[in-house]
Structure 1
Amino acid sequence: MSDPDSLLLLRASVLANDPPSLTPTESLDTAHSLLFPPLPPQYPAATTIPLNTLTRFIKDNAAVDLRSIYFAWQQREATITEYLANAQSLGVTHLGFMERLELVTYLEGGQEEGEGCIRPIEKTQASTAAGSAGASKAQTSLVGKVRQTDPRLTDIYNAERVIMNRNVMLRGIKPTDFSHVRKQSEDFITRLRNANKPSTSNLPTRPSRPPPPSSRRRDPIILLSPSASSLLTMSNIKPFLEEGTFVPATSGSDHPNFLRVSRLLPNIHPTTPIRFDVVDSPDKFKPDYWEKVVAVFTTGQEWQFRSYKWSNPVELFRETRGFYVGYEGEQVPELVMRWGTGVSVLKVERGRRFRDREVCEKFWEGVEGWMKGKGWGR
């Protein structure tokens, strides 16, 4: 029985999804042979073939050894540049792009032997048996074994091209940076616009009219509760909002009715702090001021909203963000709970002041999220 053909063995192992292993080492540059597992029914026993065995794959009129064939199969997913560099470092025969594509197609069962670079097994066995002295006799003995091809079909086959998909066609040596093309295009478009722009040197100048004011660009408003039971009033709101420090409110008429605090809200403006106006009464509001109200503090008493644009608490807290501030351990008023998720409950502790910063941050997180949802910062 003749020795098994290395290409047929490799193809059978690929189709059976049972690849061979290198021996005696697992590195291709130091291994000597390929050990093929049993592949019944054609190859019922394990087979070992030296890596220097010449195969029926022909490149430049010379047979390619099994080491180079197996390496090309291992590198089937590599780019052309990577494959060539690895082949040179390993010292194996490298195949051209079309040759490697033909080999992979054959091993995966998509092409039969006798086409392209792969010589038919009948010719190879006949030439080996006949030797150099009986070449003509061997060719004569093959008459009737090799399928005769119509000369016109031969011309057609010679003109065929291997169809490749777009991933293969568009795969380059390395990723290409086209940012310079975009910059050149922008410069060209700018010059073109300037060239087509009519000259205004002879036209009478008109004073520029300032854009109409937008309530979105004005300072947002925080509205406090005027109730005497409120934990946050005009007397202690500024250190709480700016420093995260809660001090008990003080009574009296010497407190200002208007304050300004600043806070950086990254989701609204990442670098510039936003200035907030703080008041405890809307008596001096203009109609468009209500569009700037972003937070309303409440003690849970409905009389607070009588002079508001939205006197119904449920409607009010759909248009603004509500906050109830109470002491830890005290029960939240039932009305506040009825007003729904539009009111956030914040609890401060009577003695542990280090928790004040946490409560302050929760307030600003609620304001920032509400403002972001309403389009502030756009």
Structure 2
Amino acid sequence: MDPLSALRDFTIRNDLDQIVRAGDEFRFGGDYAFPCGVSTAYRSKQGSLYSLETLVHFVKHHHLKHTEYMHHARSNNLPAVTFIDRKPLLDYLHGKVSSSDAIQFVNPKFSAASADEYRPEDTGLVPIAATDNGFDGNEESRVRVLENYISMIRSMERPLKDRETILECKNRNFYDVLAAGAKREEERQKAESQQRKDGLVAKNRLMRGDERGFGEEMGYDATPRPKMSLKGSKIGEGVPIILVPSAFQTLITIYNVKEFLEDGVFIPTDVKVKQMKGPKPDCVTVQKKFSRDRVVTAYEVRDKPSALKAEDWDRVVAVFVLGKEWQFKEWPFQDHVEIFNKILGFYMRFEDDSVESAKNVKQWNVKIISISKNKRHQDRAAALEVWDRLEEFMRSRSRG
């Protein structure tokens, strides 16, 4: 009997406790004995044959969750049965199915010696013919010799890693990969944007003169805007301004606002600071990109309200709030009620933050935007929500 059939027989009879390891072999009661590392006839969907010690360990520990079983196998320096092979293998060993496409017997004449008669050099295949050169001269004997050698080699193999263990990345942080990718994308988009601007400048100067072309060169709509005081409803003349907190404890700062609004990717401020070369910028320009061929109005992002002149406040259209009243100290408004009647407010938070963190904000006329701490593919939806609110606000102010 071959090792796989013997293991199946003992599993169905519920005699797994009679399979005992003695040195480098497994003894199946007093009936059979096989080398621990001998290859069985059950082939993994990954292509390799499972060894006997792998299957014995698996069938004795299949009650564990797969992750726990994997750790247990690795702690015993054993290759593990893959998740995809788990159920069909169990069905066969427990007798629920009588055969499987995964079973490939190399030689149906697999020998089965008793424990007392077993010889360590016996690989479990048809013995080599007892001749001086190992075979009796015919082709069948040569095949048998080759099969025995292959089985011996496989019995000594120990896979270091399988597909599942390779995919487990412990103690690794992929923020650097994300940041490098975001930086390359930013550089690419800057180059494309500049090429589009250069083309628009040349075209508009020919069609409308230098005055129109200058506005396009600066990256915003050059159509003059009416200038009104803070008491009015329309924005002042020039590039609209978005204010962000200068404190690091807020999610959106002048360091990471460009990646978030333009690329829809949240990169923590401390990561961006480490990547920076040179001093902190006083102003960052952001644009919403509908497509590769169209760039809309540009916005200035600043984090020093105290540096704004009186006429600059007419251009302030939005603010990312910290959630603290002192953020608005010395602003040219009576209170936060007046601020958020004239300026669009956003509060960025992680979706699993406590409710207390947004206690003050919920009393203000501010839009709360939530993002995940780990699911970066969700950042783009949050950024689009900011842009949608901002564009609707800008349209309402221009109409007013």
- Do these two structures clear the TM 0.5 threshold for a shared fold by scoring above it? no
Q: TM-score band (shorter)?
A: 0.3 to 0.5
Higher helix share: 2
Query: Greater relative contact order: 1 or 2 (C-alpha under 8 angstroms, separation 6 or more)?
Result: 2
TM-score by length of 1: 0.40
Larger radius of gyration: 1
